[in-house]
Amino acid sequence: MTTVDVVIPVYNEEKALPGSIAQLRAFLATHIPHRWRIVIADNASLDRTPEVGRELAARFTDVDYLRLEQKGRGRALRTAWLASDADVLSYMDVDLSTNLAAFPPLIEAIVSGGYDLAIGSRLMPASRTTRSLKREVISRGYNMLIKLLFWNHFSDAQCGFKAITRQAAHQLVPLVQDQSWFFDTELLLRAEQYGYRIAEVPVEWIEDLDSRVKIVQTAIDDVRGLLRVRFGPSPPFKKP
């Protein structure tokens, strides 16, 4: 049977975590026909998130808790994915901003569609997105800049809703230098660079007004990352 890990990177999410895990468990039990596990990847939370995460892992056999002592969503995903033995590795944001209805198509694109990666996109014609004008402009501008620099095929680099085969993760993640928010973009750019197949799934997405993301600073860091990947040396790797 195919196995699926769903990683939830968290930082100071003591309030949101219990409800999100309950909602996610109920959805997966009903809509995912594979053996699944939720992994709470806590990247150096300073509130009660560690206590809450351990309580959830102790209560449910299908929930694990992973603690990292350094911040960084990319670091959390790197650690959780490379330590996993699941066939399909995925992640989503703890606020569940992306409607979970898009998760089964995301997984099936890999399990039965033959893709190496699958990503949620807020910028496809069939997608429905609710967010502030500032975030809309920054997101579209960022993805346009990626197109100008790389002529890539994917439309939305930063939607927190992705899946990847274990084999592709173990080959690509070590090539990704970023430990924070640029991790997603760098992973996708390396995947295209080395010929991996990427599926896009339209999503319904609603902005979380309590998000921990510092939008402007993250955008600046992402632009620096793009310039590094575009003009820096490529990792010495070829897809087997």
- 223 burial via Cβ count (<10 Å: 0-12, 13-18, 19+): middle
pLDDT of residue 167 exceeding 90: yes
Name the band, by pLDDT with cuts 50, 70 and 90, for residue 220.
confident
**Strands lying side by side in the sheet with 88-92:** 63-68, 35-43, 3-10, 88-92, 161-165, 117-121, 198-202
Task: Indicate if 210 belongs to the active site.
Answer: no
Q: Which of 5, 42, 116, 184 is catalytic?
A: 184
- Write the pLDDT tens digit of every residue in 100-127: 999 999 999 999 999 999 999 998 999 9
Describe the crossing of helices 183-193 and 215-231 by its angle, rounded to 10 degrees: 30
More confident residue, 133 or 213: 133
Q: What is the mean pLDDT of residues 50-73?
A: 97
Query: Domains in the chain and their CATH numbers?
Result: 3-231 (3.90.550.10)
Q: Going along the chain, which residue ranges are E strands? A: 3-10, 35-43, 63-68, 88-92, 117-121, 128-130, 161-165, 198-202, 204-206
* Angle, alpha carbons 212-217-222 (nearest 5°): 105
- CA–CA dist 114, 71 (Å, integer): 33
Q: What is the mean pLDDT of residues 168-191?
A: 96
Whether the pTM exceeds 0.75: the reply is yes
Q: What is the mean pLDDT of residues 214-220?
A: 72
Q: Which residues pair with 20 in a beta bridge?
A: none
Q: Which residues pair with 90 in a beta bridge?
A: 6, 163
Strand bridging mode 128-130 / 204-206: parallel
Q: With contact defined as beta carbons under 8 Å apart, do 81 and 169 qualify?
A: yes
Please tell me the predicted confidence (pLDDT) of residue 207.
81
Evaluated on CA atoms 12, 16, 19, 22, the torsion sign reads: negative
- Write the pLDDT tens digit of every residue in 126-156: 999 887 877 788 888 888 999 999 999 999 9
Contacts of 36 (CB under 8 A, 6+ apart): 3, 4, 5, 6, 28, 62
